[in-house]
Amino acid sequence: MAEANKHGLPADRWDAVVIATHWLVAGGFVCNRLLNEAGGVWHERIGLTVAGLVLLRLLWGLTLARGPARLSQFLPSWTRVRHHVAQIRSGELPNQLEHNPLGALAIWLFWLGLLAVAVTGWGQDQSWGDAWPLADIHAWLVDGLTVLVVVHVLAVILMSHRMGQNLLRRMLPLP
Residue 125 buriedness (CB in 10 A; 0-12 / 13-18 / 19+): exposed
Q: How far apart are CA 76 and CA 101, in angstroms?
A: 6
Q: What is the CATH number of the domain that holds 167?
A: 1.20.950
Is residue 5 a part of any domain in this protein?
no
How far is CA 106 from each of CA 50, 114, 150, rounded to the nearest angstrom? Answer: 17, 12, 11
Is residue 71 a part of any domain in this protein?
yes
How far is CA 118 from each of CA 6, 35, 123, 151, 160, rounded to the nearest angstrom? Answer: 37, 17, 8, 22, 32
The confidence score (pLDDT) of residue 59 equals 98
Is residue 10 a part of any domain in this protein?
no
44-67 per-position pLDDT tens digit: 999 999 999 999 999 999 999 998
* Domain span at 142: 16-171
Torsion angle defined by CA atoms of residues 74, 13, 10 and 84, in that order, rounded to the nearest 10 degrees: -40
Q: DSSP 3-state assignment of 133?
A: coil
Q: How far apart are CA 170 and CA 161, in angstroms?
A: 15
Is residue 11 a part of any domain in this protein?
no
Tell me the pTM. 0.87
Residue 12 buriedness (CB in 10 A; 0-12 / 13-18 / 19+): middle
Could you write out the DSSP letters of every residue in 11-31? TT---HHHHHHHHHHHHHHHI
Q: What is the pLDDT along the chain (175 residues), one digit of tens a residue?
A: 355 545 454 557 889 999 999 999 999 999 999 988 888 999 999 999 999 999 999 999 999 999 889 999 888 899 999 998 998 889 887 777 778 899 999 999 999 999 999 999 999 888 776 777 899 999 999 999 999 999 999 999 998 888 888 889 989 987 7
Tally of domains in the chain: 1
The confidence score (pLDDT) of residue 10 equals 53
Is residue 95 a part of any domain in this protein?
yes
Torsion angle defined by CA atoms of residues 14, 20, 22 and 25, in that order, rounded to the nearest 10 degrees: -170
Is residue 3 a part of any domain in this protein?
no
Centre a 10 Å sphere on the Cβ of residue 134 and count the other Cβ atoms it contains.
Answer: 19
Is residue 28 a part of any domain in this protein?
yes
Is residue 116 a part of any domain in this protein?
yes
